[in-house]
């Protein structure tokens, strides 16, 4: 099998979506007529990743064998290292790798999880990831949490999304919201707190102590993502599990977090090497006894790729993430990923097992220059 062409494009979830709200999709065509689908990180609409795919990657992979996906990934990351290796380049390579695994599964007639060595579980619980709580009142936070409980998540994460240029802006308010949510859901319901890099080291210790008292499950990205040593210091000084890594794009970057003291890492399959990258990360985490709980919010192609990897892991200690529970992204898929009674079920069709509806894609795609 040889790659004959690729198409990198944005997808509008609703008419008039702002550019940064769109998805970033990739289709890879092979000479046997098969098509693999991939997705880049949709941060800022994935535009920079799509441009890299179109202008720096497309010509380089024509004629390549999709089964050489790991060699292709490592060759390109070294060839294009001056464009990254973090951020947009990571997203571009992730989209390509996911599409090549989809092709590999289709060629071999097997779901991706089988090619990864088999699934420990094919029904995956999820946690409701709720953003924007920094600007809500305590009461507004409770109303949103109540709404999301209706989807039967096995845990809830409240994200604060505060302005990272103003650390420790409202520690008292943040703790009050965490306390109110704990009271609402009861003592036994699993909760997580995501500071979205909004705290200083001292502020994080203070919030972390409150979360320990409230029985929170984990404390995510307390300090700036680039302060790796301080992230580790917070983790070492607190008893609660401290997590980080959704803004880490390389295996070496994940290693640095682990060495600093972080005991739960959260790389995202649409940012860090796709399926190949996340499997390498899984091996690193297993060797160090560190929890791998991938970041992956939007229920589209990356979500499916992530599910295949998580299903194939011996240790999956936490549920998978679901940010947007609405059906706004569903219309482009013949079989959109949606939970049933609190569980996402892994498809058994070859490849990722996710089918695009060609006419919907055609009406929503926006090509980049
Ligand atoms: Ca997060």
Can you give the pLDDT at residue 368? 86
Judge whether 3-109+357-367 and 114-345 match in fold: no
DSSP codes joined into one string, 39-57? E---GGGGHHHHHHIIIII
| Domain residue ranges in the chain | 3-109+357-367, 114-345
Please give the C-alpha separations between residue 223 and each of 198, 201, 219, in angstroms, as whole numbers.
6, 6, 11
User: What is the secondary structure of 181-238 as a DSSP string?
Assistant: HHHHH-TTS-EEEE-TT---HHHHHHHHHHHHHTT-SEEE--S-TT-HHHHHHHHHH-
pLDDT in tens, 202-241: 999 999 999 999 999 999 999 999 999 999 999 999 999 9
Using the mean position of ligand 1's atoms as its centre, give its distance from the Cα of residue 55 in Å: 31
Helix-then-strand count for the chain, H and E? 13, 13
What residues have CB less than 8 Å from 223, skipping those under 6 apart?
167, 195, 197, 199, 200, 201, 204, 230, 231, 234
Beta carbons within 8 Å of 166's beta carbon, 6+ residues apart: 198
What's the confidence (pLDDT) of residue 315? Answer: 87
CA of 275 to the centre of ligand 1 (A): 20
Strand partners, 367: 9
Distance 25 CA to ligand 1 centre (A): 22
pLDDT band of 293, cuts 50, 70, 90? very high
Q: Which two tokens stand for residue 202?
A: 């001292």
Element (H, E) at 179: helix 171-185
Report the separation in Å between the CA atom of 243 and the middle of ligand 1, taken as the mean of its atom positions: 9
| pLDDT tier at 334, thresholds 50, 70, 90 | very high
If you measure from the C-alpha of residue 9 to the centroid of ligand 1, how many angstroms do you get, rounded to a whole number?
Answer: 26
CA distance 102 to 307: 13
How many angstroms is it from 172 CA to the middle of ligand 1? Answer: 20
Cα-to-centroid distance, 245 and ligand 1 (Å): 9
Distance 238 CA to ligand 1 centre (A): 19
| CATH code matching the domain that covers 114-345, chosen among 3.20.20.120, 3.40.50.170, 3.10.129.10, 3.40.50.300 | 3.20.20.120
pLDDT tens digits for 77-104?
999 999 988 999 999 999 999 999 999 9
Highest CATH level, class, for 3-109+357-367? alpha beta
1-19 mean pLDDT: 95
Measure 34 CA to ligand 1 centroid, in angstroms: 35
pLDDT over 90 for what percent of the chain?
97
Kindly report the backbone phi and psi dihedral angles of residue 233, in degrees, each rounded to the nearest multiple of 5, phi listed first.
Answer: -65, -45
Distance 189 CA to ligand 1 centre (A): 20
- What confidence score (pLDDT) does residue 209 get? 98
Give me ligand 1 centre to Cα 321, in Å.
10
What distance in angstroms lies between residue 247's CA and the mean position of ligand 1's atoms? 9
179 CA to middle of ligand 1, Å? Answer: 20
Structure tokens at 257: 């977090």
| pLDDT at residue number 282 | 97
pLDDT score of 156: 98
Query: For residue range 101-117, what is the model confidence (pLDDT) as tens digits?
Result: 999 999 999 999 999 99
The residue-averaged pLDDT of 163-172 equals 96
Distance 194 CA to ligand 1 centre (A): 6
Using the mean position of ligand 1's atoms as its centre, give its distance from the Cα of residue 346 in Å. Answer: 24
> 93 alpha carbon to ligand 1 midpoint, in Å?
22
- Cα 116 to ligand 1 centre (Å): 26
- Taking the centre of ligand 1 as the mean of its atom positions, its distance from the CA of residue 71, in whole angstroms, is 30
Give residue 222 CA to ligand 1 midpoint distance, Å: 10
- Containing 26, the helix (H) or strand (E) segment is strand 23-30
CA 315 / ligand 1 centre spacing (Å)? 21
- Confidence (pLDDT) at 369: 79
Q: What is the pLDDT of residues 134-164, one digit of tens each?
A: 999 999 999 999 999 999 999 999 999 999 9
Beta bridge partners of 29: 5, 35
pLDDT on residue 353: 98
Q: What is the pLDDT of residues 235-291, one digit of tens each?
A: 999 999 999 999 999 999 999 999 999 999 999 999 999 999 999 999 999 999 999
Q: Do the Cβ atoms of 79 and 60 come closer than 8 Å? A: yes
pTM for the model stands at 0.97
Distance 269 CA to ligand 1 centre (A): 14
**Type and span of the H or E element at 20:** none
Centre of ligand 1 to C-alpha 220, Å, is 6
φ and ψ at 225, to 5 degrees? -65, -25
Q: Tell me, in angstroms, the distance from the centre of ligand 1 to residue 104's CA.
A: 31
Spatial distance between the Cα atoms of 340 and 325, rounded to a whole number of angstroms: 12
Between the CA of 369 and the centroid of ligand 1 the distance, in Å, is 31
Q: Are 364 and 328 in contact (CB under 8 A)?
A: no
């Amino acid at each position: 099998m040889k790659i004959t062409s690729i198409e990198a494009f944005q997808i509008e979830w609703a008419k008039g979506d702002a550019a940064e709200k769109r998805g970033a999709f990739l289709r890879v065509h092979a000479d046997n007529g098969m098509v693999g689908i991939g997705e880049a990180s949709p941060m800022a609409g994935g535009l920079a990743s799509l441009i890299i795919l179109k202008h720096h990657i497309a010509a380089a992979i024509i004629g390549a064998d999709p089964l050489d996906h790991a060699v292709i990934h490592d060759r390109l990351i070294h060839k294009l290292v001056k464009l990254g290796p973090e951020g947009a380049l990571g997203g571009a390579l992730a989209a390509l790798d996911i599409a090549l695994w989809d092709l590999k599964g289709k060629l071999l007639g097997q779901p991706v999880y089988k090619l990864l060595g088999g699934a420990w579980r094919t029904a995956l619980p999820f946690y409701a990831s709720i953003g924007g709580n920094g600007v809500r009142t305590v009461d507004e936070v409770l109303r949103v949490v109540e709404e999301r409980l209706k989807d039967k998540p096995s845990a809830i994460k409240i994200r604060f999304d505060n302005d990272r240029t103003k650390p420790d802006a409202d520690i008292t308010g943040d703790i009050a919201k965490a306390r109110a949510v704990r009271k609402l859901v009861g003592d036994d319901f699993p909760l997580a707190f995501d500071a979205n890099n909004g705290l200083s080291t001292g502020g994080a210790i203070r919030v972390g102590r409150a979360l320990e008292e409230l029985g929170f499950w984990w404390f995510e990205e307390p300090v700036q993502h680039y302060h790796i040593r301080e992230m580790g210091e917070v983790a070492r000084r607190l008893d609660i599990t401290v997590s980080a890594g959704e803004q880490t794009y390389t295996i070496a970057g994940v290693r640095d977090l682990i060495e600093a003291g972080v005991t739960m890492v959260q790389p995202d399959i649409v940012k860090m090497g796709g399926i190949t990258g996340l499997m390498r990360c899984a091996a690193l985490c297993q060797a160090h006894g560190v929890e791998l709980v991938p970041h992956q919010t939007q229920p589209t192609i990356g979500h499916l790729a992530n599910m295949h990897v998580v299903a194939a892991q011996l240790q999956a200690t936490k549920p998978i993430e679901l940010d947007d529970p609405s059906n706004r992204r569903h219309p482009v898929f013949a079989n959109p990923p949606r939970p049933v009674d609190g569980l996402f079920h892994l498809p058994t069709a070859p490849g990722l097992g996710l089918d695009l509806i060609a006419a919907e894609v055609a009406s929503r795609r926006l090509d980049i220059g």
